[in-house]
Structure 1
Amino acid sequence: MDDALWDRLPFEARAEVDELIAVRRHVQAIALMRERIGAPRPSIHDCVDLLEWRAKVLRG
């Protein structure tokens, strides 16, 4: 996974995304990513890829 998209996400938002993923609120996590990453706005597909990568990281 290219974590460049994750790096563009503000630090505070990263924690929020991880919390949403942990409680399986994936749609909200994707919406938050798209809102907080900034321009250029990432595609939903890119956010889904990022979500899947973070879910694997969080599962350990």
Structure 2
Amino acid sequence: MTIAGISIILLLGILILALLAFQLLSGTRRIKVPFGLHRQVGFVIMALAMIHGFLAIMANL
């Protein structure tokens, strides 16, 4: 499955990497965000990582 010729798995991986960078910066207080947002982004990262992994496994079957 692709979007504009780019694999959805690759796009999800890039999105997760960007969200992890945001988490790192907000966790070290380089970016000031409320703790609630930091926590919600953590849940989003977990959900996207599970989808990313599932799609990668299904693509290799």
TM value normalised by structure 2: 0.38
Bigger strand fraction: 2
